[in-house]
């Protein structure tokens, strides 16, 4: 499939720089490049060229690269101009290229064309965006693995398994004298189970990949003086927040971004939860609750020297239990040998004790994304599609157990396959494609 028009965009960040790269793609890319440079462009060569305005004025000179279709990023004829990185020069050149027949590209339009021309599948196109925007080294390495096609390979393998199973069931349906004969087949049962197990494994990997891409949000909550700001400072590695022995020190929400073993984590320190008198502190407490509502994980701090008070217990009741982790702070103040029998993690912001276990709890115990060479980057939509595919495979297995209808099973498997196809872009609606590519930046 080839688009009928030719697009152009600045591929480097706008603003002043040593160089800027303008990118053209489409059937007239070569012609536009040749007219602007008043020269022939040969494919696959780096050519020093001058670029002229319509009246013959010299606009700039620089390098020109012509990639003949289909051997280009988009699969179409592409021309790249490497010019001087001044915004005015770039503007004049863009204007000239548009006068010659190109139009300004929409965000992500180059990647969209690469996808439509079969140069990349959807997970790979997304991986380029994620690589560019990755918030940590681990995320960038994982994005690179997705771009290399590791994620798609896994999906293709799953799809193949499902296709085999469907073929087997559909053939059996055609030939079985009695449906019951083939439905007694243990082979189908075990193959459905294997398929569900594989899906489950990839789902777990995709969930980890999503954490790596989107990061986690942690809210620090608790009574005044529980040690929230001190913990923020310990995790951030510098004195981000003011700490005093007075209750009610923190009012505004303090946001810090840290990388915990390669996972980007946003830590939000909040005002101590109490019935405050001062209007500013009241507003701080209100905002603390908003942060608690939004966080993936709420660390509820309890000063270990005071222990959990009635107020702590009342607050814990109001907190979302599945997202809350109890943290006993200031454990350096416990006497040596004191028992630590309470259900929660003991930490000391002062000595650093317990921070490792706390980090393990935040990012998932045992996870070290820097060491994980299997990880690939995934997005929420991938996780959702995998979940739905898994549901259908499970449903197929249930159907097998209950109604024993081969037709229904085949139908469920078809649905599972369709959801997997959404991930790589085989079965993705134009609407969704439009939204995915629109979130990319211009020139990509």
Ligand X SMILES: Nc1nc2c(ncn2[C@@H]2O[C@H](COP(=O)(O)OP(=O)(O)OP(=O)(O)O)[C@@H](O)[C@H]2O)c(=O)[nH]1
Report residue 348 as tokens: 């000391």
Shortest distance in whole angstroms from residue 121 CB to Mg ion: 48
- The answer to whether residue 134 forms part of the interface with ligand X (CB under 6 A) is no
Judged by CB, which is closer to ligand X: 137, or 313?
313
CA 442 – CA 334 distance, rounded (Å):
57
- The answer to whether residue 212 forms part of the interface with ligand X (CB under 6 A) is no
Judged by CB, which is closer to ligand X: 228, or 419?
228
CA 2 – CA 6 distance, rounded (Å):
10
Judged by CB, which is closer to ligand X: 215, or 227?
227
- The answer to whether residue 230 forms part of the interface with Mg ion (CB under 5 A) is no
Residues in 255-274 at the binding interface with ligand X, rule: CB under 6 A: 271-272
Residue 181 CA, distance from chain mean position: 46
- The answer to whether residue 230 forms part of the interface with ligand X (CB under 6 A) is yes
Residues in the chain: 444
- The answer to whether residue 229 forms part of the interface with ligand X (CB under 6 A) is yes
Helix (H, G, I), strand (E, B) or coil at 21: strand
Q: How many CB atoms lie within 10 A of CB 116?
A: 18
> Which residue among 5, 184, 239, 247 contacts ligand X (CB under 6 A)?
247
Phi and psi at residue 326, to the nearest 5°: -80, 135
Shortest distance in whole angstroms from residue 311 CB to Mg ion: 17
> What x/- string results for residues 397 through 436 when contact with ligand X is judged by CB under 6 A?
----------------------------------------
Q: What is the largest CA-CA distance in the chain?
A: 87
Shortest distance in whole angstroms from residue 211 CB to ligand X: 27
> Which residue among 145, 266, 287, 350 contacts ligand X (CB under 6 A)?
350
Report residue 49 as tokens: 């060229």
- The answer to whether residue 332 forms part of the interface with ligand X (CB under 6 A) is yes
| Region from 66-74, 120-128, 134-142, 246-254 binding Mg ion, contact rule CB under 5 A | 246-254
Shortest distance in whole angstroms from residue 239 CB to ligand X: 11
Shortest distance in whole angstroms from residue 219 CB to ligand X: 12
Judged by CB, which is closer to ligand X: 169, or 299?
299
- The answer to whether residue 326 forms part of the interface with ligand X (CB under 6 A) is no
- Per the DSSP assignment, residues forming a β-bridge with 255 are 268
Shortest distance in whole angstroms from residue 218 CB to ligand X: 15
DSSP 8-state secondary structure symbol assigned to residue 99: H
CA 318 – CA 292 distance, rounded (Å):
11
Q: How many CB atoms lie within 10 A of CB 275?
A: 8
> What x/- string results for residues 55 through 94 when contact with ligand X is judged by CB under 6 A?
----------------------------------------
- The answer to whether residue 250 forms part of the interface with Mg ion (CB under 5 A) is yes
Give CA separation, 113 vs 7, 72, 78, 263, 420, in Å: 10, 11, 12, 32, 22
Helix axes 430-438, 109-116, angle to 10 degrees: 140
CA 345 – CA 337 distance, rounded (Å):
16
CA 177 – CA 259 distance, rounded (Å):
61
Q: Select the binding partner of residue 227 from Mg ion, ligand X, none (C-beta < 5 to 8 A, by kind).
A: ligand X
Phi and psi at residue 94, to the nearest 5°: -60, -45
What is the secondary structure of 303-319 as a DSSP string?
Answer: ETTT---HHHHHHHHHS
Question: Where does this chain bind Mg ion (CB under 5 A)?
Answer: 228-229, 249-250
Question: Where does this chain bind ligand X (CB under 6 A)?
Answer: 222, 224-230, 243-245, 247-250, 271-272, 329-330, 332-333, 348-350
């Amino acid at each position: 499939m080839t688009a009928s028009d030719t697009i152009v965009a600045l591929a480097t960040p706008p603003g002043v720089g040593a160089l800027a790269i303008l990118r053209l793609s489409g059937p007239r890319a070569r012609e536009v490049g040749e007219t602007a440079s008043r020269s022939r462009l040969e494919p696959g060569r780096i050519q020093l060229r001058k670029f002229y305005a319509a009246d013959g004025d010299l606009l700039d000179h620089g390098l020109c690269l012509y990639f003949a279709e289909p051997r280009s990023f988009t699969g179409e004829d592409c021309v790249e101009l490497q010019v001087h990185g001044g915004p005015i020069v770039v503007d004049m050149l863009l204007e000239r290229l548009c006068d010659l027949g190109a139009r300004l590209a929409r965000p992500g339009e180059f990647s969209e064309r690469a996808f439509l021309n079969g140069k990349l599948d959807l997970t790979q196109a997304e991986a380029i965006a994620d690589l560019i925007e990755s918030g940590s080294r681990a995320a960038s390495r994982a994005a690179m693995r997705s771009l290399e096609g590791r994620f798609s390979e896994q999906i293709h393998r799953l799809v193949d398994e499902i296709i085999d199973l469907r073929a087997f069931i559909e053939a059996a349906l055609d030939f079985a004298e009695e449906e019951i004969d083939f439905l007694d087949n243990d082979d189908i049962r075990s193959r459905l189970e294997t398929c569900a197990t594989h899906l489950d494994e990839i789902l777990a990997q995709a969930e980890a990949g999503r954490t790596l891409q989107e990061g986690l949000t942690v809210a620090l909550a608790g009574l005044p003086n529980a040690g929230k700001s001190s913990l923020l400072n310990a995790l951030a590695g510098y004195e981000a927040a003011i700490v005093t022995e007075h209750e009610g020190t923190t009012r505004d929400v303090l946001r810090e971004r840290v990388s915990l073993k390669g996972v980007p984590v946003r830590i939000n320190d909040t005002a101590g939860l109490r019935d405050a008198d001062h209007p500013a502190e009241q507003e701080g407490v209100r905002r603390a609750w908003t942060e608690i509502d939004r966080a993936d994980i709420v660390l509820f701090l309890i000063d270990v020297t005071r222990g959990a008070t009635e107020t702590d217990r009342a607050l814990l009741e109001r907190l979302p239990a599945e997202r809350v982790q109890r943290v006993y702070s200031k454990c350096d103040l416990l006497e040596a040998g004191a028992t630590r029998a309470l259900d929660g993690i003991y930490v000391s912001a002062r000595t650093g004790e317990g921070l490792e276990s706390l980090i393990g709890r935040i990012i998932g115990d045992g996870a070290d994304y820097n060491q994980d060479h299997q990880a690939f980057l995934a997005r929420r939509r991938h996780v959702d599609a995998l979940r739905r595919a898994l549901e259908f495979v499970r449903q197929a297995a249930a159907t097998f157990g209950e109604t024993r209808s081969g037709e229904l099973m085949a139908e469920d498997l078809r649905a599972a396959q369709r959801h997997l196809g959404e991930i790589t872009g085989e079965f993705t609606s134009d609407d969704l494609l439009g939204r995915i590519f629109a979130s990319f930046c211009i020139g990509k």
